[in-house]
Each structure stands twice: as structure tokens, then as C-alpha cells.
Amino acid sequence: MLGKLIRLDLRFAYKKYLAMAALLILSGIFLPWIVDLSAAVGLMSVFMVGFLIIAVMSVYLVFENFSQNLFGAEGYLMHTLPVRPWQLVASKTVTTFLWFNLMCAAVVLMGILMGRGDFSIQFGYIGAKEWAAFGDFLLACLKIWVVINLLMFVVVLALYLGIAFASVSLRGRKLGRLCGGAVSFVGIWGVVYLAARVAEWLADVGMASFDSAWWVEGGVFALFAVLYFLLTTYLIGHKLNLR
């Protein structure tokens, strides 16, 4: 049943995400003909702005989809399905993971297309050292990808937790939204603060490099992601209050 829920959730928002991805890729193709942004502000700035836009839009779409689909008018239908609360949350989380990585891939492709004039490919003999360096590069990218996705899970699940908490019967809808927003903010800020403290501790014990510390930071993110997932599931299963 979880697979059917995931397919249903993919149908809800695929047009918006695919349109955003297509717009980013088209921007990478045509913008350099209008203005060379990679030369004007730097390729890294293009990547940073692109990721910032994707983060804002993704948070908005996640909030809208989760809130309307489970706690709005659509919630009356969703909660009549023969599924458990954890399956509803897991379905939303998996689809968010898929869309987030699609958008990140679109941003990377946009940046490559914008800076295509700065890249040059030289073909020649590739020895063992080159292959080893390429393998190390891929491994580092994989580690960064894992940590970024774990952080994404924490942020998204903290938003889910805040939305679910806001649905709990309180004295007025405005107070519920205020409390839900506070829960999401504290959930995200608390993880970021703890991760910073863990990074300081790792530096003190001589594990400051990302190569040796990524799994510790990733473990912190994973722990809180599981905690927020369980709390959200509990609220939906025991304290649900549809609008």
C-alpha cells in the first residue's frame, strides 16, 4: 500500500516540480546568450542562488502539499484509506526526497550549462592515479549527498511535525499555527545548533576534517529525523484534528 501512496503523492505535485526543473535547465541554456552570469558573479554564486531558490520553493510546496493533503479538505479522503499513519508520513517523505534530488540535479545541470564556456575536456591517457583521484572525488560527492539529504529529511520532518502539532486542538486556529511554527523552528534550530556543537567537539578531538566527521554529523541528522518522524506519526494517529 505504501507504493500506491507514493505513486498517488507523485501525481499530486509532479507538474509543478517538472515545470521548475525544466525552467532551470532552460535558464542554463538560454541565459548565457543574454547575460554571462557565471562570468559576472561567479559560477559558485550561480549554484548558491539556484540552491537557495530550490530550497525556498521546495519548502513552500512541501508545506502546501502536506498541509492540504492530510489536514485540509483532502485529509477526509486520505484518512479513510486502509493505511497506517506512518505510511502517510513515509509516503510524503519519500516523494519529497525524490523531488528534492530532481531539483538539485536540475540546479547542477543549470550551473554546468551556464558555465559551459569555462569548461574544457581533454582526452588522453588515464592512469591509475587519475582513476584513484576520480574515485576519491566520487566518494566525497557521495558523502556530501548523504549529509545534505539527511539534513533535508530533518528540515522536512520538522516542518511536518509543526504542521501536525498545529492541527492539535488548541484555543483557536491562530494559536495552533503559532505553536506549530514554533515547533518547526525549534526543531530545525536545535538540530543545527547541536550539529555545530558536535563539529566543535570533533575539532577538539582532532576529527575536524569532513572525511572523518561526516558520519557523526550524518548520524545526528538521522537520529533527529527518526525522532520527528515518530512524533509526527503519533500526532496524526492519536491527536488528529482536521480543519
Question: Could you write out the DSSP letters of every residue in 85-139?
Answer: HHHHHHHHHHHHHHHHHHHHHHHHHHHHHHTGGG---------HHHHHHHHHHHH
- Beta carbons of 220 and 154 less than 8 angstroms apart: no
pLDDT value at position 118? 57
Boundaries of every domain in the chain: 11-119, 149-243
pLDDT value at position 68? 74
Contacts of 29 (CB under 8 A, 6+ apart): 113
Q: Is the pTM of this model over 0.75?
A: yes
pLDDT value at position 228? 92
Q: pLDDT tens per residue, the chain (243 residues)?
A: 778 888 877 887 778 788 888 887 887 777 666 555 555 555 556 666 666 776 677 667 777 777 777 777 666 677 777 888 888 889 888 888 888 888 888 877 877 777 666 555 554 556 667 677 777 778 878 888 888 888 888 988 898 888 888 877 555 567 777 888 888 888 888 888 888 787 777 777 766 566 666 777 778 888 999 999 999 888 887 766 655
